[in-house]
Amino acid sequence: MWHPSTPLERELYRVFRLSSAGSAVTIISFVGYLCIGSALHIARVYTPSFPLMSFSDPVFTILCFLTGGLICLLSGSLTCLTLLVSVKDANAEFVLLTSLIAFGFGAATVRITVNPILAWLAALRPV
């Protein structure tokens, strides 16, 4: 079994573990918001002034941003750990490929949601 030996490996492993726990919490919150929010919207209990699950919905946008950012942290740390430990076998190549694809997905999600979040934060600022 592999154990982190250098300070860089220990920190990357710590980032990997924290981002995987954060990703689990954020994704569960995101799916819960999608299910509960749409069920309450259909039942006409929750009728916000903005369209539900759009980029003007602040909860949806913030959860998308957090999910994308945590996916970037998770896949980036996994890529670096794999490159530090071994890159010679087929399993490591598969991990590298899927991690880089996940990093691209997370970065695209962050790029799409950062402007609506910045606009929402600017609207919160008192004049």
What does the alpha-carbon distance between residue 43 and residue 55 come to, in Å, rounded to a whole number? Answer: 22
**CB burial string 75-100: b at 16+ within 10 A, e below:** bbbbbbbbeeeeeeeeeeeebeeebe
For CA atoms 10, 15, 18, 20, give the dihedral sign.
Answer: negative
pTM of the predicted structure, to 2 decimals: 0.84
For residues 71 and 103, the answer to whether their CB atoms sit within 8 Å is: yes
What does the alpha-carbon distance between residue 30 and residue 115 come to, in Å, rounded to a whole number? Answer: 19
Give per-10-residue mean pLDDT for the chain (127 aa). Answer: 76 91 93 90 86 86 94 93 83 91 96 93 81
What does the alpha-carbon distance between residue 108 and residue 97 come to, in Å, rounded to a whole number? Answer: 17
Whose structure tokens read 């980032």? Answer: 15
| pLDDT reported for residue 54 | 85
Q: How far is CA 57 from CA 3, 34, 71, 101, 118, in A?
A: 43, 12, 21, 27, 13
